[in-house]
Amino acid sequence: MTRHLPSSPLTGRFWEPDLTRLLLCAVTLLLLALPGATRAQDSFTSLDTNTGEVTPGIAQPPCGTKPVAIARMQWPSAAILAEIHARILKAQYDCDVKLVPGDLAATAASMGSTQQPAIAPEMWVLRISETWNAGVKAQKLRQAAPTYDAGLFEGWFIPDYVAAANPQVTSAASLKENAQIFSHNGARPRFISCPPDWACSIINRNMLKANGLDGLFDIVEPGNRFEMDTLIAQAVSSKEPVVFYYWQPNAVLSQFSFKPLDMGPYDRDAFACLARRVCDDPKPTAYAPDSVVIAAAEWVFTDTPVIASYLQRATLPIGEMNAMLAALSEPGATEADIAARFVAEKGDIWHAWMGTGPAGE
């Protein structure tokens, strides 16, 4: 009686040994034993089923063998970015991704000591410069790419209808000669600043003085962020010619059309004076540039170079984030919803992060 061996996992057919097959196996083994024969575990090739071309196989998955933890920071833009990268890394690179709660200082400290979490998509390094520099010096973490395609995140803005009607108003310096444009219903022009307990309120007061505007504009300091947004929205709704301070990424800059004013070159010493409550000699300057980066643990670069390359290309246009934050204000919307929508609709952006064109190319 012939003894049937287990079926092949590929065909499901029973395999029966015979003399011819045994001889073929023996010859194959002898050939493999010859000098110069290639061992299967040393290298292999795989057939790309899409193109029919033979391409080198990958010895291990792009993410390596351990989970990739991504810091999901508390503020909306960072949470959206964490959700976006988690989806792409899981779907496109088959990574074992987990989202972990994050906080700017605590996450930087953890990455700088334990190299966990692996990725923090929105790290404002100048806010925690001492912790960041220590982690970089210890070779525990490093910058991948800038999070956004903008270096300046704070500034003064005017509505687009004001800019269109007054093309000469392009900078903070040009406001002095054109202050009368911003008078509304006979009242003095308004400058909407930020709440008085925020550092930017002091900076804005001194900036107005530096540009010779303190006697020309009434400074409005709202009680909180909600009141600030309401004042800006009301001014725009009534077509008021207003000047205001704001920052990004932020939903307001996407919900309405605004034009940023050129604040001039940045002067470090001048800005340091403007940040003091008593600045004896205020001089014009732009806001200090900020450094917002995708932070990654050192092991991401050494152990998972494919993922490191992805992160080094993953800079997001800041206008896209402003738009996503605006969408987040829709009833019932969550950061996860917004991230899923971005991945579904913005492949032209994130495929470039992968170093590819549209899916399948």
**What CATH number should be reported for the domain holding residue 167?**
3.40.190.100
Q: Which residues contact 38 (CB under 8 A, 6 or more apart)?
A: none
Residue 52 covered by a domain: no
Residue 5 covered by a domain: no
Residue finishing a domain among 249, 274, 299: 274
Q: Are residues 166 and 113 in the same domain?
A: no
Q: Are residues 173 and 214 in the same domain?
A: yes
Tell me which residue has tokens 């906080």: 103
Residue finishing a domain among 248, 274, 300: 274
Q: Are residues 179 and 266 in the same domain?
A: yes
Residue 26 covered by a domain: no
Helix (H) or strand (E) holding 240: none
Q: Are strands 218-220 and 243-247 parallel, antiparallel or unpaired?
A: unpaired
Residue 12 covered by a domain: no
Q: Are residues 78 and 125 in the same domain?
A: yes
Question: How many domains is the chain built from?
Answer: 2
Per DSSP, helices labelled H in 126-266 are: 129-137, 160-165, 199-210, 225-237, 252-255
Q: Are residues 90 and 197 in the same domain?
A: no
Q: Exposed/middle/buried for 102, CB within 10 Å: 0-12, 13-18, 19+? A: buried
Residue finishing a domain among 242, 274, 306: 274
Q: Are residues 206 and 116 in the same domain?
A: no
Give pLDDT tens digits along the chain (361 positions). 333 323 222 223 333 333 333 333 333 333 333 333 333 323 322 223 233 333 344 456 788 888 999 999 999 999 999 999 999 999 999 999 999 999 999 999 999 999 999 999 999 999 999 999 999 999 999 999 999 998 789 999 999 999 999 999 999 999 999 999 999 988 999 999 999 999 999 999 999 999 999 999 999 999 999 999 999 999 999 999 999 999 999 999 888 889 999 999 999 999 999 999 999 999 999 999 999 999 999 999 999 999 999 999 999 999 999 999 999 999 999 999 999 999 999 999 999 999 864 333 4
Residue 34 covered by a domain: no
Contact 103, 74 (CB under 8 A): yes
Residue 127: alpha-carbon gap to chain centroid? 16
Q: Are residues 167 and 210 in the same domain?
A: yes
Residue type, 214: D
Q: Are residues 162 and 269 in the same domain?
A: yes
Angle 150-228-241 (CA atoms, 0-180°, nearest 5)? 80
Q: Are residues 163 and 197 in the same domain?
A: yes
The enclosing domain of 107 has a CATH number of 3.40.190.10
Tokens encoding 242: 């207003």
Q: How far apart are the first and last CA of the chain?
A: 55
Residue 361 covered by a domain: no
Cα dihedral across residues 345, 349, 353, 354: positive or negative: positive
Q: Are residues 146 and 295 in the same domain?
A: yes
State the pLDDT at residue 321. 96
State the pLDDT at residue 281. 97
Q: How far is 141 from 216, CA to CA, in rounded Å? A: 49
Residue 270 covered by a domain: yes
State the pLDDT at residue 30. 36
State the pLDDT at residue 94. 94
Tokens encoding 164: 């269109």
Angle 185-190-193 (CA atoms, 0-180°, nearest 5)? 155
Q: How far is 354 from 278, CA to CA, in rounded Å? A: 50
Q: Are residues 174 and 133 in the same domain?
A: no
Residue type, 99: L
State the pLDDT at residue 17. 35
Instruction: Give the torsion through C-alpha atoms of 303, 305, 309, 311, to 10 deg.
Output: -10
Q: How far is 3 from 283, CA to CA, in rounded Å? A: 94
Q: Are residues 180 and 236 in the same domain?
A: yes
Q: How far is 165 from 171, CA to CA, in rounded Å? A: 15
Domain enclosing residue 102, as ranges: 68-150+291-354
Residue 280 covered by a domain: no
State the pLDDT at residue 19. 35
